[in-house]
């Protein structure tokens, strides 16, 4: 640090750089400013030389007290290709319309907070004649074809969401039929050698929960 301070005193006076409407302007400082700069640096340099024995000793002392940190072990797993777990992620509200009146899935009770929002045509831009029922895909009634598609793409893991509006259609009520549909889907994934991964919340809540201010009343 001592030598850096001394070196700084030997630097020439800085130029003034301005940005003017996209043009860089470099202005040289006046002679008076240069004189002030050199005089100030001369006295600073002289003062640093006087105390340099002390500052150099301090620099040496602090340098010897520095602790070299231990090398952090590499905890990242080795790169394996293809990875053991690979697959796709879906939201069953987005793919199947669960929790809405247009759901392309087994008949389930319960509506989500998006159901009424989707009733307003201006909220969703689509071509004339568009119908949600033609957009959503039924995955849960018979997951066989869907799982075969996953297998054809060498999928070993599949992440999907729980749609709480059909699992808990009312406060304090659990729809066991919906739970059984999910259990069937999970069991078929496991039987096909695909690891299920469940997303507990995917930006969709039951309508009753939303109307209560997104909290349990």
Domain boundaries, the chain: 2-64, 87-211
What would the mean pLDDT of 157-173 be, rounded to a whole number? Answer: 95
Helix (H, G, I), strand (E, B) or coil at 4: helix
Report d(CA 186, CA 197) in Å as an integer: 9
Q: What is the reported pLDDT for 145?
A: 93
Q: Is the pLDDT of residue 23 over 90?
A: no
Report d(CA 48, CA 46) in Å as an integer: 5
Q: What is the reported pLDDT for 162?
A: 95
What would the mean pLDDT of 161-177 be, rounded to a whole number? Answer: 94
Report d(CA 156, CA 195) in Å as an integer: 6
Short-list 139, 172, 213, 107, CA closest to 99: 107
Q: What is the reported pLDDT for 28?
A: 74
Helix (H, G, I), strand (E, B) or coil at 158: strand
Do 207 and 165 touch, CB atoms closer than 8 A? yes
Q: For residue 127, what are the CA distances in angstroms to 94, 97, 102, 112, 130?
A: 18, 19, 17, 24, 6
Question: Given pLDDT bands bounded at 50, 70 and 90, which one contains residue 81?
Answer: low
Report the Cα 6 to chain-centroid distance in Å.
Answer: 47
Q: Is the pLDDT of residue 65 over 70?
A: no
Please state whether the peptide bond connecting residue 69 to the residue before it is cis, i.e. omega within 30 degrees of 0: no
Q: What is the reported pLDDT for 4?
A: 77
Question: Given pLDDT bands bounded at 50, 70 and 90, which one contains residue 92?
Answer: very high
Q: Is the pLDDT of residue 217 over 70?
A: no
Question: Whole-model pTM?
Answer: 0.59
Question: Given pLDDT bands bounded at 50, 70 and 90, which one contains residue 43?
Answer: confident
**Cα 74-78-79 angle, rounded to 5 deg:** 135
Q: Is the pLDDT of residue 64 over 70?
A: no
Report d(CA 56, CA 66) in Å as an integer: 16
Question: Given pLDDT bands bounded at 50, 70 and 90, which one contains residue 70?
Answer: low
- Percentage of residues in the chain with pLDDT exceeding 70? 84
Report d(CA 21, CA 137) in Å as an integer: 56
């Amino acid at each position: 640090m001592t030598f850096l301070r001394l070196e700084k005193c030997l630097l020439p006076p800085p130029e003034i750089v301005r940005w003017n409407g996209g043009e860089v302007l470099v202005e040289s400082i006046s002679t008076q400013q240069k004189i002030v700069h050199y005089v100030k640096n001369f006295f600073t340099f002289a003062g640093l030389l006087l105390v340099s024995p002390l500052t150099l000793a301090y620099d040496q002392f602090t340098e010897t007290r520095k602790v070299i940190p231990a090398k952090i072990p590499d905890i990242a797993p080795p790169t394996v290709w293809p990875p053991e777990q690979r697959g796709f992620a879906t939201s069953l509200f987005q793919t199947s319309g669960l929790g809405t009146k247009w759901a392309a899935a087994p008949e389930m009770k319960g509506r989500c907070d998006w159901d009424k929002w989707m009733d307003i045509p201006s909220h969703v831009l689509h071509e004339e004649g568009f119908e949600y029922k033609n957009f959503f895909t039924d995955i849960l009634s018979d997951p066989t074809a869907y799982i075969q598609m996953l297998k054809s793409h060498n999928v070993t893991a599949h992440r999907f969401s729980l749609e709480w509006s059909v699992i808990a259609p009312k406060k304090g009520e659990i729809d066991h039929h919906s739970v059984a549909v999910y259990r069937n889907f999970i069991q078929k994934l496991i039987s096909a050698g695909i690891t299920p991964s469940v997303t507990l919340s995917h930006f969709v809540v039951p309508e009753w929960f939303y109307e209560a201010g997104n909290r349990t009343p």
